[in-house]
Structure 1
Amino acid sequence: MNAGPQAPIVVEAESFSGQREDDVRQWHVIPAPDGAPAVADADQRKQAAEGASNGSYIRLLPDTRRTHGDKLIRGENFSPEAGKMAIISYSVHIETPGRYYVWVRAFSTGSEDNGIHVGIDGEWPEHGQRMQWCQGKNTWRWQCAQRTEKQHCGVPMEIYLDIETPGKKMIEFSMREDGFTMDQFLLTTDKNFRPE
């Protein structure tokens, strides 16, 4: 018997277990861990100072498409297909199967760093594609919305993963736009849950 929605599973973005398909774009922890080359510029340091959980986050670099005027290059600074570029993985234990809504806490500075894809165990379901942010520029903001042809800013609560069996799962994110900046993600079976 299911007693109702499970408590949300919250994961720090910098606690990834690995990344692949990263020869063109890579995820970087900011600020860089001790001994790693620093990749943070002044804007990135400002972001971390303004409320990233644990004072660190990840960013997809290099960021060459910052404005709509910058050239869009498929397979380099934009990836419309999920699971093709800059995949970052997280090992997560799922106790109860079900539909898990995926929320991500991201920092977007413009219109060209506000999209990502989410998948599970190497699969990229339709409802994990084109996760989108439009509001709350230059602030950390939670979102669970899917970009569609009719709703460019995303349809709320349409980003989810259907998990059929309990156990260890690999939750994965892949590039849609370079420059994407992520602090945390969470999984919840409660469609009415809203992160603070």
Structure 2
Amino acid sequence: MNSQNKQLPKIALEQNGFVLVEAEDFTSQSNSEIRKWHITTITQNPTATDAGKSHASSASGKAYIEILPDTRTNHEEKLISGENFSDKPGAVAVVSYKVNFQKPGRYFVWAKIYSTGSEDNGVHVGIDGTWPESGKRMQWCEGKNSWFWDSKQRTQEVHCGVPYQIYLDVLQPGVHEIQFSMREDGFEMDQWIMTIDKDFNPTNDSKF
């Protein structure tokens, strides 16, 4: 193939301390032998093999990604650590994005997800192959059966998550790799945001 015809990886641009990324615009995947992120669109529905229903029609850009196969949808189904659940960030189903940061700093991470049950609402986020404590156990309890923005960290005391505790520190300007890895299979993600504004909340803005 002519090198001029190769598709260049999509690099998102942070501007004024803010970046919004479509989940399907990832640049690579890793650790995908057991579980893998799959793109769902109006015409492409890999969840059909898992008896799942597509939510593409209501997603931004009519596309989203989901960790499949989905074998644990509720508490009654068996939890298999390292297969359908991983409390170790970066171990299973890692999806990566490139972001060009002009402004270093502490960025709070938000994601818009679709959760239908009690076992498809958690994920980890990291940067440049590292998985800080502040990126572990992103958790959603609200907004079932709809696309819902949130930024909370599950703790031993608060299972539905504590606000302001999910963030990544960008120490240097330039291109960095932002990564999400599986905590629970069946996790569906439409978009994600990084912002230095601690008080920003996309649920308060109609354009999101």
Secondary structure class of the residue paired with 1:66: coil
Secondary structure class of the residue paired with 2:20: strand
Contact 2:17 2:103 in 1 (8 A): no
- C-alpha RMSD over aligned residues: 1.6
Task: Give, in angstroms, the shift of residue 6 of structure 1.
Answer: 2.9
The one-letter amino acid paired with 2:37 is W
Contact 1:94 1:167 in 2 (8 A): yes
Q: Give the counterpart of 2:116 among 95, 109, 113.
A: 109
Which residue matches 1:48? Answer: 56
User: In structure 2, how many angstroms separate the alpha carbons of the residues matched to 1:121 and 1:157?
Assistant: 21
Which residue matches 1:23? Answer: 33
Aligned residues: 187
Q: Deviations over 1:151-177 (max 9, x none)?
A: 100001110001110000000000000
For structure 1, the 5+ residue unaligned runs are none
Secondary structure class of the residue paired with 2:46: coil
Contact 1:30 1:44 in 2 (8 A): no
Q: Give the counterpart of 1:182 among 165, 168, 189.
A: 189
Contact 1:32 1:40 in 2 (8 A): no
TM-score (ref. length: structure 2): 0.86
The yes-or-no answer on 1:135 pairing with 2:129 is: no
TM-score (ref. length: structure 1): 0.91
Query: 1:1-196 to 2 correspondence within 5 Å?
Result: 6-31=16-41, 38-41=45-48, 43-45=52-54, 47-49=55-57, 51-196=58-203
User: In structure 1, how many angstroms separate the alpha carbons of the residues matched to 2:120 and 2:193?
Assistant: 20
Q: Deviations over 1:90-141 (max 9, x none)?
A: 0001100000000000000011000000000000000000000001100100
Task: Give, in angstroms, the shift of residue 43 of structure 1.
Answer: 4.4
Secondary structure class of the residue paired with 1:40: helix
% same residue: 53
User: In structure 2, how many angstroms separate the alpha carbons of the residues matched to 1:154 and 1:31?
Assistant: 30
Task: Give, in angstroms, the shift of residue 48 of structure 1.
Answer: 1.6
For structure 2, the 5+ residue unaligned runs are 1-14, 204-208
